[in-house]
Structure 1
Amino acid sequence: MRIHHLDCGCMCPFGGALFDGFSKGPRAHLCCHCLLLETDRDGLVLVDTGFGEGDVGDPSRLSRMFRLLNNIQFDPARTAVAQLRKLGFQAADVRHILLTHLDFDHAGGLADFPNATVHLMQDEHAAVQQLRGFLPRRRFVPVQWRGISRWQLYREEGDQWYGFESVRSVVDDVLLIPLRGHTAGHAGIAVRGEDGWVLHAGDAYFFRHEIGQTSRRCPPGLRLYQRLMDTDHDRRVINQHRLRALSLEQPQLAIFCSHDARELARYS
């Protein structure tokens, strides 16, 4: 299986290094790290979609609060469908999309791939059926998945993967790893590539130094944003601690999150 690392969205919140740990100017640089998988049997597979053509064409469909807070850059060249075309593929070639969760910066491109089956944890799908409260009504954008009928939903059951419960999807060598806390049904996506397993941890952590070392380090702006977006803080902290332990126990594993631009550059 060949793995392509894509950046399907740029967010540049004001605060610079207080958010990303490296920017010299007033604006930070956060990415939307997605994967394109070329499989032998299952065609093309996407892991998350970032912002889609619908978001770029009509930014107002996203919450004004998040557009301003994250200073989202609506660049059509960054959409997953545009990057696929640049690689010589068409939207119709994508047969499966696996989502870590349904936040606005992960599910925006679903409608760009109408032939794909969308794989998601059942708890995540259930949580967005009736949105209540100030934050849920702004972070989840039902128009992004309106009209999607081909859902494949999963419960927390199945094989073990390095000590984590895992759910084997219908796609060969791709697993959903329940990592709830950031959202009700948040999951990581484990992929067996040519050089071994990689784990797309989604938003289970946000900053590269939250794993790979014995103690967590995260810029204060990003730390606050993570706390703001928790749906189950205790569970998110537990799962992040488990990922940090895994990264130390199995240093050969490639683990990365959704929004750290330095991580994306390392794998790209």
Structure 2
Amino acid sequence: MSSKNQNDSSSEGKSGGRVRPKKHLGQHFLHDEHIARKIGDTLQFQGYSNVLEVGPGMGVLTKYLIEKEVDVVAMELDSESVTYLEAEYQHSNLQVLEADFLKTDLREIFGDEPFAITGNFPYNISTQIVFKMLEYRDQIPEFSGMFQKEVAQRICEKEGSKTYGILSVLTQAFYEAEYLFTVSPGVFNPPPKVDSGVLRLLRKKDYSLPVSDAFFFKVVKTAFQQRRKTLRNSLKSFNLSPKIKEDAIFGKRPEQLSVAQFIALTQKLADDAISTHD
């Protein structure tokens, strides 16, 4: 994310401190209180008492999270923002951590306890945030936040769309995904060049797959690496037997398959591999 105004943009808090948004960190500070409150209200706070906010910046969302009866961990990579947050928001249910979300073992923070994740996510790492969240899906019943609009839409997209892909399938295998609302560039400092979108993911009551999770991930990623080809061609590396190639599903392209069909496809491939080696 970038902006021509980045070099002369800064924000000031009650204490007089100033935090300058940094382009290399993808920082765009939300300054619309109404939208911040709406994002804070996207979580249902049921079945858990911990919330991890990724990239709090100057705390416009943080202030609404700490109003809830939950413990908030605000994880921020920018040391200037950390100093600001510690000065501005001194609350007993808030812990400010200077850390890189993508490099942090979240179990060192929460142990085995469940927690939600939310935030106004830096666009340059937003898809990586979702993939990491999926690694901790056993502990994360709920996830919400703001992405670049097209990324948020892609996560929530259904089969049959050109934007439906790896992120859509892997997320929706475990979570119910809902696109909530669109946010215009003008409510950020500096304003990004694109619209933003807020979504919510609610973990399914039964989110265990009837197949190997790792194998499912591999099948989905391999299929979409050559999304224009039929599955018969894109999944050649799985050494398909002549018999399984006759199945009608292999005549489809990956974007035509629902999440349930991808799970069924994974089962077919697993069974085929077993029978081939028998």
TM-score (normalizing by structure 2): 0.31
| Higher helix residue share | 2
Q: Which has the larger radius of gyration?
A: 2
